[in-house]
Amino acid sequence: MITIDYEKIMKKISDTTFQYNEGKVKKVIGLTIEVEGVSASVGEVCLIYNTQGKEIHCEVVGFKSDDIILMPLGELVGIAPGCRVVATGIPLSVNCSYDLLGKIIDGLGRPLDKSSIPQGEMYPLDTNPPDPLKRRRIKEILPTGVRAIDGFLTCGEGQRVGIFAGSGVGKSTLLGMIAREAQADINVIALIGERGREVLDFIEKDLGEEGMKRSIVVCATSDQPALVRLKGAFTATAIAEYFRDQGKKVILMMDSVTRFAMAQREVGLAVGEPPATKGYTPSVFAMLPKLMERSGMSEKGSITAFYTVLVDGDDFNEPIADAVRGILDGHIVLSRALAAQNHFPAIDVLSSISRLMSEIAEEEHKKSASLARDLLATYKNSEDLINIGAYVSGSNKKIDMAIFHNEKINLFLKQQVKEKSAFEDSIDNLKKMFK
């Protein structure tokens, strides 16, 4: 028979000092909060109780001697020296379930209409991309419903594509067309750093009721703290990963990667990183592949991703555009010159490319698209001569052919915002153009 010495156990309990992982605010510098007395790791969530007793969620972003540096996932208002800080011991996660469909949530996964979402599966915001050796190869075409893309820049299921454009050239409208017409099960749309008034415009005008039914919109507007804008991109990616793990065909759209990079630059500069290329910190260029490699194919489902890049001053070789182009599987360039000619969508097919089209499109389709590109390039090179009447018909057979087909090709490339175009019809029309 075992005898238990309760007095000895109780004495041991009473002599034990329980340590709570708590500390207090030491000082606030710019966007950062310095805290003493707390032990936490980078990426961990901490709670600050401000002078009104309100909880403010923060994330550990760095260290300074024995102190930790936090950045708020909310406002700094009400935080003062001595405010209580509690480490939670867990990283940020988002509640994922089918109840999210049709919802608009903030950068941390909370519904903007203050409604409640039943508890689903918690997915961490920071995870590793799928194992490269376990990714399925891209073999299936993903019809987007946009003739210029389907015909000349055919996308594969699981492909990652960049949409590069200056401001006001039609990126959001093009995303809305793809969201409505693309043959996918679920859309996850991240609006990162958007102007507040543009959010409802995009949802009602560009996405529409039809697109919203199978979409989840993650919204982190430009007035939100840098960390919330940053986490908005990871929240959308985590939600897309959840549905991919359910075996779904997911489209992830992010508008825009440039503002995501700007948010990371703010965070980097706040914690003391040195500015590198055009003021962007080294962590920005480390963060981009970490975010974008998470989309694509997995063993179960797929995430086909469209990332918009807002190019500074229409410079398509600026640092973020250059870095993104090297990561993704293709790029779609929107031209301000075409937009000025009322050519919508303003896709410059000569400057755009899909790196997977040669592997997934059929031979006749590729030949027709290649011939059309060749004729567009020929017409563009000879356009000045043609416009001033210096070119004499019959002087060059290729130029004659380019002049004959130019209007037909441009009519094919133009498409009204609400105009539907089935993939098979688009490819048949492209093939018939040269018969």
SS3 268: helix
With 80 as the cut, is the pLDDT of residue 223 above it? yes
Nearest Cα to Cα of residue 347 among 336, 357, 335, 363: 335
Its domain, for residue 290, covers 94-361
- Whether 14 is covered by a domain: the verdict is no
Q: Confidence band (pLDDT; 50, 70, 90) for 9? A: low
pLDDT at 20 over 60: no
Average confidence score pLDDT of the chain: 89
User: How much is the average pLDDT of 157-179?
Assistant: 91
Q: Do 248 and 350 fall into the same domain? A: yes
Span 287-316, mean pLDDT?
Answer: 91
What is the pLDDT at residue 139?
Answer: 93
Query: Is pLDDT of 6 > 70?
Result: no
Residues 79 and 172 in one domain: no
**Six-digit token string for 431:** 């093939």
Mean pLDDT of 355-362: 94
Same domain, 214 and 66: no
Confidence of residue 18 (pLDDT cuts 50, 70, 90): very low
In a domain, 73, yes or no: yes
How does residue 5 score in pLDDT terms, banded at 50, 70 and 90?
A: low
With a cut of 80, say whether residue 169 has pLDDT above it. Answer: yes
**Are 269 and 408 in the same domain?**
no
- Band of residue 202 on the pLDDT scale cut at 50, 70, 90: confident
The H-or-E segment that residue 416 falls in is none
Task: Return the pLDDT at 16.
Answer: 47
Q: How far is CA 192 from the centre of its chain?
A: 8
For residue 46, give the CATH number of its domain. Answer: 2.40.10.170
What does the buried/exposed string (b/e) look like for 248-260 if buried means 16 or more CB atoms within 10 Å of the residue's CB? bbbbbbbbbbbbb
Give the separation between CA 277 and CA 422, rounded to whole angstroms: 43
180 in the same domain as 52: no
pLDDT at 230 over 60: yes
Q: What is the pLDDT of residue 68?
A: 92
Which tens digit of pLDDT belongs to each residue from 255-274?
A: 889 999 999 999 899 888 89
Per-residue pLDDT tens for 373-430? 999 999 999 988 888 888 888 888 999 999 999 999 999 999 998 898 999 999 999 9
